[in-house]
Amino acid sequence: MASGWANDGAVHEQIESTVQDAVARARSRLGQGESLTHCEACEAAIPEARRQAVPGVRLCVACQSEADQEAKKFAGYNRRGSKDSQLR
């Protein structure tokens, strides 16, 4: 059931789009190609065990932890555009 000016199925489309964005973000963070022997951020050596465990690894554990903390700050998109969200 749509409300206001929204078309039927608009809420479902918003949810689907949000899920697709989240999947795309997750896939973009997956490693690709060969693992590096040294961190691309700080140039510290990446242990062989980490390179075996995480295909395509590019960062050492410390730099990856920092990158993960930064990624948590991203809250996604508010597609609803409610008055409350526009006032914040």
- pLDDT tens-digit series, residues 47-64: 999 999 988 999 999 999
In a domain, 83, yes or no: no
Domains of the chain: total: 1
In a domain, 86, yes or no: no
CA nearest neighbour of 50 among 84, 59, 3: 59
Whole-angstrom Cα distance, residue 11 to residue 30? 29
Q: What range defines the domain where residue 20 resides?
A: 10-73
CA nearest neighbour of 2 among 56, 65, 80, 72: 80
This prediction has a pTM of: 0.56
- pLDDT tens-digit series, residues 14-43: 889 889 988 888 787 777 789 999 999 999
Q: Where are the alpha helices (DSSP H) in 30-82?
A: 48-53, 61-72
In a domain, 85, yes or no: no
In a domain, 32, yes or no: yes
In a domain, 60, yes or no: yes
